[in-house]
Amino acid sequence: MASRITQRPRDLWGRALGSLSAVLVALSVTMIFLYVPSDQVQGAVQRLFYIHLPAAWLAYFSFFLIFVSSIAYLARRHPRWDRLARSAAELGFVFTTIVLLTGSIWGRPIWGTWWTWDARLTTTLILWFIYLAYFMLRAYVSDPERAARYAAVLGIVGFVDVPIIHMSVRWWRTLHPQPIVVRAEGPAMPESMLLTLAVTMVAFMVLYLFLLVEKYRVERMKDELAELRLQHSG
Amino acid sequence: MIAARQIYAIVRKDLLLELRAREQVVGMGVFALLTLVTFNFAFDLTGADRAASGSGALWVAIMFAGLLGMGRAAAIERQQGAWEGLLLSPADRGTIFLGKLASALLFIGIVEALALALFTALFALPVLRPMVLLVVGLGTVGFGTLGTLFSVMAATTRAREVLLPVLLFPLALPVVISSVRATTLLLTERQAEVGPWISLLLGFDVLFLGIAYLVFGHAVEE
């Protein structure tokens, strides 16, 4: 039975994106570890940056995607928008976790601490909590249509709130300066680093698109399965 | 004008219910006072720099009590089809939201009056001043707006007591930060720096009042 499911014909998009992201991720990993030189000040740990930055970008982009599909869902009430929001939320949560983890690992040797209540860090942590709330809200609502509506409401309110959270946290810090380990500002980035970052960025975006397409497909199958179950039980 | 009368009717209904059942304000008030007393043991609220931790204690007490009250209010509406009755009334969804928000603000306001009075007496901090009261008012509106929206949503879920704080606290963070900072600045006689925080609170209130008013209808479709 399992083999029949895996043999389900996949469309060209999924295959193309999958192969392309595999190649690009392999290329960027090679560049991060073999091509790009180590940072003179920070050493090897700086290589995390090439993963950290694209992940951060996608973590916030996911929330934007949730915002747009939440509005579309409330306006049109088509389940496809909710599926998109669900898929983006799961990816956003993964990438936010990656950002927090890589940042923490980098911060330990460079800042001398795993965590500091800097504005960007705090905002990303709160973003992570909002994602968590989003999943909990969905999980605790039994009716799927209601879960979709509630999640859309949270998606809209949350997205509008994130910049305000960032602003308030920044003011909170600027008004109350604390002796924190100052980030060593290195020289302008050499070309090889920029190139590596660009390749990784593209690789992450293609990978993201691939995961989004696949996740969306899984969500659609889940919906179909739920519908079939309903038909056969009723 | 019709909307104002409908809001009044909702507030009147909630007030009447509260006068008869006493399920919200008494519990919230006692809870807020106990929080303040507990904070007194958790932090030293008698020293010279007590203004900083004091305003934090005050806001935690207000917000925990508010959370409790709004969760309770939504649960009461769920009993015996009260909520369905409200939704079937000719008031539109936005007006119902404003009505429920007004009730929540009224109840939290009563608790705040109590908490502020006790706070002044216990910790000898001059909080009963117009500017502090303004900050308390603005913070409560921001917190209450999101709280009313989410408590109505959380009330229909399986783990509502758990879910409401999980939804509310991250999103209300700007209110927490600005209210606590503004109150601390006012209590330490640094009125000049309080402006940006009050603008932030005001902006937050207006923005989320608008959004909550618009999306509330989607949250309560039954």
Contacts of A157 in chain B (CB under 8 A): 146, 149, 171, 208, 211-212, 215
Contacts of B170 in chain A (CB under 8 A): 126, 129-130, 133, 165
The one-character DSSP state at B1 is -
Mutate to test the interface with A, among B83, B173, B180 (most CBs of A within 10 A): B173
Q: Which of A32-36, A125-129, A208-212 has the lowest mean pLDDT?
A: A32-36
Distance to chain A for B46, nearest Cα, Å: 22
The total of structural domains in chain A comes to: 1
Q: Which residues pair with A174 in a beta bridge?
A: none
Residue from the list B203, B211, B221 with its beta carbon closest to the beta carbon of A156: B211
Rounded Cα–Cα distance for residues A13 and B87 (Å): 46
Q: Which two tokens stand for residue A39?
A: 């940072």
In a domain, A64, yes or no: yes
pLDDT classification of A177: cutoffs 50, 70, 90: very low
- Report pLDDT digits (tens) over B143-165: 999 999 999 999 888 887 889 99
Whether the CB-CB separation of B195 and B202 falls below 8 Å is answered with no
Q: Which two tokens stand for residue A97?
A: 């976790």
B211 touches chain A (CB under 8 A): yes
- Report pLDDT digits (tens) over B51-74: 778 888 899 999 999 999 999 998
Domain that holds residue B81: 2-219
Query: Is pLDDT of A202 > 80?
Result: yes
Q: Which residue of A has its CA nearest to B159?
A: A140
The total of structural domains in chain B comes to: 1
Side chain identity at residue A108, one-letter code? R
Q: Which two tokens stand for residue B48?
A: 């010279």
| Interface ipTM | 0.90
Domain that holds residue A118: 57-177+211-226
Rounded Cα–Cα distance for residues B189 and B183 (Å): 10
Rounded Cα–Cα distance for residues A43 and A193 (Å): 13
Residue A96: Cβ within 10 Å count:
25
In a domain, A107, yes or no: yes
Query: Is pLDDT of A10 > 80?
Result: no
* Closest by Cα among A60, A51, A64, A61 to A101: A51
Residue from the list B173, B193, B207 with its beta carbon closest to the beta carbon of A160: B207
List C-alpha distances in Å: A120 to A46, A110, A162.
18, 16, 11
Largest CA distance in chain A: 67
B206 touches chain A (CB under 8 A): no
